[in-house]
Amino acid sequence: MAKNSTGPGWLAGVTVLDLSSLLPSPFAAHLLAKFGARVIKVESPNRPDPAREFGYVPPGKTGSCYREINDNKELLLLDLKSETDRERLYELVRTADGAIEGYRPDVRKRLGIEYETLAALNPALVYCSVGGYDPAGDYRDRAGHDLNFVARSGILDQTRDREGRCVMPGIPLGDYSVAYAAALRMACALFGARQSRRGCHIEITIEQALLEVQMPFLREAIESGEMPRSGHTLVTGKYPCYNLYEVEGGTFALGALEEKFWRVFCESIGRADLISSHLATGDAGQRTIAEVNKTLSRKNFADWWKIFRAVDCCIEPVVAVKDVVNGLQS
């Protein structure tokens, strides 16, 4: 594993112990390492991180995903069921600034790494626990992975195909949402602890993180009484100005929320008569969408892209994953 950060050194001088496995907590620690923190990943030699075997595993190597989120950390093999190895961890805790883990409470206690134990060794330690469900809720002891949490969050109900079937997200939304939430909380708490020399126990769950990212839209539902449905919300196709349009050879993503961008779009396709339908809904909105599709069907993707790339109206092509990968490799 590499020992260098690859981004801004804002957290230079900060040491964080990554006591976790799989994706959410390790990705949060990976973000801290990118911003300059020294991150030490503690992994059992007897029960390696299962992520080592996930996804594509090249011959003689660990899985690509594992390497991507752990290669900017130092690796320390410790069996926390061993008293000797646990004491080695405690020595690190005494001088560390933070620690992050993703165990259930009973496992933390069994391994001797619960907050109370580590805070007694280092009162300034910022300790972050990343969980699945609310630790005080009915589901606190229920196992789960990203798809389970996204399903319970209501997000899958708003992500459906034209036949009304739920569509699985292309990435683990819950895992990444909670990772960013955990990293942000830790960065803020580490700053505070540097000033006060008092640490804290941060608890964040995937359930909570997915709720937080939805709150602007859930607030709308609470106040309007209209529940979000796929195709009937601002970000799922309610308006003609914020929608996906398929043409021969590809798909365009139009995000012309502001009237000025919608105006440019309509003028670009020769349909100035649709400018007033910017935020049309219901039957009027569907008629506008149908008119846009009818107009776009007159040219193929390449011809339209020559027009759209020359104007400023918040429209972009849906890029194939292979092209994204090729871009990273070039």
- The reported pLDDT for the residue numbered 6 is 58
- The reported pLDDT for the residue numbered 1 is 60
- The reported pLDDT for the residue numbered 329 is 87
Going by C-alpha positions, the residue among 181, 226, 242 that lies closest to residue 207 is 181
- What is the distance of C-alpha 273 from the center of its chain? 40
pLDDT surpasses 80 at 3: no
pLDDT surpasses 70 at 224: yes
Q: What is the share, in percent, of the chain residues with pLDDT greater than 70? A: 98
Dist. CA 292–CA 271, nearest whole Å: 8
Range 35-47 average pLDDT: 97
Instruction: Measure Cα distances from 302 to 235, 252, 299, 320, 325 in Å.
Output: 26, 11, 8, 15, 21
141 or 197: which leads in pLDDT: 197
- The reported pLDDT for the residue numbered 107 is 92
289 or 7: which leads in pLDDT: 289
Per the prediction, the chain carries an average pLDDT of 95
- The reported pLDDT for the residue numbered 276 is 97
In sequence order, the 6+-apart residues with CB closer than 8 A to the CB of 154 are: 214, 218, 228
Maximum Cα–Cα distance for the chain, whole Å?
Answer: 77
pLDDT digits (tens, 9 = 90+) for 54-104: 989 999 899 999 999 999 999 999 999 999 999 999 999 999 999 999 998
Q: Which domains does the chain have, with CATH numbers?
A: 15-213 (3.40.50.10540), 242-329 (3.30.1540.10)
pLDDT digits (tens, 9 = 90+) for 255-269: 999 999 999 999 999
Dist. CA 27–CA 32, nearest whole Å: 9
- By the 8 A CB rule, do 55 and 137 touch? no
Confidence of residue 141 (pLDDT cuts 50, 70, 90): confident
Range 241-250 average pLDDT: 97
pLDDT surpasses 90 at 306: yes
In the chain the first and final C-alpha atoms are separated, in Å, by 24
Dist. CA 229–CA 14, nearest whole Å: 44
